[in-house]
Amino acid sequence: MNPDDEIFLSAYLDGELNPREQLRVESLLRSDPRLAARLHHLASVRELVAGLSRPLPPHDVSTMVVARLREQQERRFWKRPFGGRPASVIAGVSAAAALILMVVGFALRSSEDHAVRGPLAARHIATNRPQASLPTPVEVSTVRPASPNALSQPRHSDRSTEDLALATQSEDQFRRILDNPNLKRIFIVTDQIGGRASEKVNKLVEYMPRIDSTFARVTIAEGIIIDPKHPGEAQVFAVAVNDQELRQLRGDLQNAFPDGSVEEEQPEPALVTQLADIGQVSILPGTSVPRLVSSSRVQERNALKADRPVIAPDPPAEDDVDEPGIERYRSAPANVAELHQPPGSPRPGRVADEKRKQTPDFSRNSVRVASIDRMRRNRANIVLIWVASR
């Protein structure tokens, strides 16, 4: 048998020869003992390899694979979010992040704030570089604009070192807020180009009674859209709702868009991990549910404004009592009567007395405020309604 013929030995060993080839090999094997010995050697090799152990993988591959798939999906999300939906989502997502900030800051302003500043007072915040100029909840909630449009003034000029430090701090605070689990839902409304879905959603959000009636609206301009295939604008609405209100909102959206153009998504964790450019943000008043003014509510708000956990506040200084702010009257129902007294009525001493009498209540109030704060954090849902053109 020549070397080429030896190839048939392996095939004979494996039972891969046709009957004619098999007969030929068997004939050769009978006539050549060396060939028979080679066959046995090859058979031994085969048995050695076949007998190799079959160890289990040292690590669970599925865990690693799923983790990597999620990473890839998250990376793709930023390039082409929501599996091919309009890429304006990227801008929307960034806006969403900003909206959470805005909503957390502004939703804590109760409906009584609207009564003070007027029901239709919309405040606009226009930003091009949110990381530098994005207001934090604390900043926003402590700033009381001189006029309804005060916040629309650009805040990016002549930034000092202190401003930059504050911006960094604000970013940290912002990230902390984004880490909270309150962003529960994203409703995606797909609109036709030139459609009026955004207008419908705006009305729906504006007239749906909610405890936290304030809502935010972000307009994402063309310039921010990354995917040139979807150059249309997008609008994102953000509301803070409790569970019952969320159910109602879902139902209202489904009724408003019965053609199935509303989809509901769980927000991806990646949505809230970074900041990006945002569009123009408007904070707007909605329709509040009538309720009694709660003193603890104001305390809660004040505590949040002070950028600290809710702790027992210091008793008010007497100097402060001479010119009580509106909130102070609210925080102390006994003082409401003072608010309605005619100008010039003697009050400082009496107000100071009232304040002193209430001093022991602050610690009790603060406990209650902390409790309510916890409840609010646990129960509030931040919901985004994102209207994008097809």
Task: Kindly identify the residues of this chain, within the stretch 35-74, that bind another protein according to CB under 8 A.
Answer: 36, 39-66, 68-70, 72-73
The stretch near another protein (CB under 8 A) out of 14-22, 198-206, 269-277, 303-311 is 14-22
Cα separation, 122 vs 217, in Å, equals 11
CB distance 324 to 351 below 8 Å: yes
CB 32, min distance to another protein, A: 12
In the bound state with another protein, the residue whose beta carbon lies nearer, of 44 and 274, is: 44
The answer to whether the Cα torsion of 206, 208, 209, 211 is positive or negative is negative
Among 1, 29, 122, 166, the residue binding another protein under the rule CB under 8 A is: 29
The stretch near another protein (CB under 8 A) out of 12-20, 201-209, 241-249, 272-280 is 12-20
Residue 240 DSSP code:
E
CB distance 130 to 275 below 8 Å: yes
Measured CA to CA in angstroms, residue 269 lies from 8, 65, 326 at distances of 61, 18, 40
Residue 276 contacts another protein per CB under 8 A: no
CB 105, min distance to another protein, A: 34
CB 65, min distance to another protein, A: 5
- β 287-288/209-210 pair status: parallel
Residues that bind another protein (rule: CB under 8 A) add up to a total of 48
CB 277, min distance to another protein, A: 28
- β 183-191/262-265 pair status: antiparallel
Task: Kindly identify the residues of this chain, within the stretch 167-206, that bind another protein according to CB under 8 A.
Answer: none
Cα separation, 338 vs 358, in Å, equals 16
Which residues share a beta bridge with 216? 238, 283
CB 271, min distance to another protein, A: 16
Residue 11 contacts another protein per CB under 8 A: yes
Measured CA to CA in angstroms, residue 115 lies from 110, 120, 127, 295, 367 at distances of 9, 10, 27, 16, 27
In the bound state with another protein, the residue whose beta carbon lies nearer, of 79 and 159, is: 79
Residue 116 contacts another protein per CB under 8 A: no
Cα separation, 154 vs 275, in Å, equals 19
Task: Kindly identify the residues of this chain, within the stretch 68-107, that bind another protein according to CB under 8 A.
Answer: 68-70, 72-73, 83
Collapsing DSSP to helix, strand or coil, 388 comes out as strand
CB 361, min distance to another protein, A: 52
CB 50, min distance to another protein, A: 5
CB distance 141 to 108 below 8 Å: yes
Residue 15 contacts another protein per CB under 8 A: yes
Contacts of residue 150, defined as CB under 8 A and 6 or more positions apart, other chains included, come to: 123, 143
In the bound state with another protein, the residue whose beta carbon lies nearer, of 29 and 166, is: 29
Residue 20 contacts another protein per CB under 8 A: no
- Residue ranges that bind another protein, judged by CB under 8 A: 6-7, 9-16, 26, 29-30, 36, 39-66, 68-70, 72-73, 83
